[in-house]
Amino acid sequence: MKLTDPAVKNAAPKEKQYTLYDSEGLFLLVMPNGSKLWRWKYRVGGVERRTSLGVYPKVSLRAARLERDRLQTELKKGVDPAVEKQALKAVERATGETFQLIAEEWHKKFRHTWADNTAKTVIERLQKDIFPYIGARPIREITPPELLAVIRRIESRGAVETARRDLQKCGEIFRYALATGRAERDIAADLRGAIAPPKKRHFASIHEPKEIGELLRAIDGYQGSPVTRCALQLAPLTFVRPGELRHAEWTEIDLEAEEWRIPAARMKMREKHIVPLSRQALEVLHELQPLTGGGRYVFPGARSADRPMSENAVLAALRRMGYEKGEMTGHGFRSMASTILHEQGWLSDVVERQLAHGDRNKVRASYNFAQHLPERRKMMQAWADYLEELRSH
């Protein structure tokens, strides 16, 4: 009996894949994940062969029959659909429909929506973990098990969060290819749940006043690079993200206005950010200016002034000072400030704005880089005074 539209639509997935037959070799393959794939079997020289006709519902029952009829006509002319498909794949390779070329096109199109560091990280991860294995493959040919094997390689080295993020980006690439007519579906969607979620991670931080005072005194006595020591001193006074701190540029610092204005391109939330500079923060910057003020970066790298400080510099300094992985991190200065400022009774909106956390109201977020600025100036100076008091005890 031939298939009907309701029968195709209502075909439910089972534990194992199964087949629903139509006529003249056309059949529907129903997968355990719910995907429905059109296939046509035919014979050439007495040998049975099969070819794909697309995915339901993008390809309807009627469209699948029409394609089967077209291929039957071609077969009578001596054109083997399998050979035709291989030729098409060769054309796809020649015209740039490989995963890598489509991914690079996707990255170029959407990189303006990310912070510069994020855009760089995305393409570097693809180049390292994805392209070597499926980059040269036509995107239409890649199967869910093939993509899963690539993601498992990342997971196997313990980088569970990276594996999860890379799978997410691959999904975005497949959906872009689907939207531009170069893929039949997003196969990454079939792998939902295949990667175990990473353990919830909290950045280690110190919150007890006595221990904070000890940390600040240890920073003042740090015997390593003076540039690193200044970075350690400025971190609790500004409580910006570690990447924002090490990429700070002198052109962003206005010592007279007592402000550090970070451009949107370097902010996680893609919104420019104002950091009011306390008297103590200005003292650190004045000390640093003769050392690095002639260059681009406030905290240049040890090997080249044309590059920012290493992302591990602050963390390594904390370890040299005796603070273990579970005690304190560069990111921990943010948690320290957030916890204590909230405990001291500062308005949550003021604290969260200074932490540059995202605003769910997209319209308001585009205007709020200077929101609560007078209150934030007052808070930042009070916070620096509080830290100075702890340091002196």
Q: Which residues are catalytic?
A: 241, 268, 331, 334, 357, 367
Beta strands 259-262 and 36-44 are: unpaired
Residue 21, phi then psi, degrees to nearest 5: -95, 145
Q: What is the DSSP string of 192-213?
A: TTSSPPPPP--------HHHHH
Count CA atoms within 13 Å of residue 156 on its CB side: 7
CA 152/CA 33 separation, integer angstroms: 19
Using alpha carbons only, what angle is made at residue 137 by residues 132 and 142, rounded to the nearest 5 degrees? 105
**Cβ atoms within 10 A of the Cβ of 65, count?**
19
| Residue 149 DSSP SS3 | helix
- List CB contacts of 223: < 8 A, sequence separation 6 or more: none
Q: Is the peptide bond before 57 cis (omega within 30 degrees of 0)?
A: yes
Q: Is residue 328 classed as helix, strand or coil in its secondary structure?
A: coil
DSSP 240: -
Dist CA 347 CA 379 (whole Å) = 10
Sign of the alpha-carbon torsion through 164, 169, 173, 176? positive
Q: Is 96 left (phi over 0), alpha (psi -120 to 50) or beta?
A: left
Distance CA 149, CA 165 (A): 15
237 φ, ψ to 5°? -80, -25
- 3 state SS of 202: coil
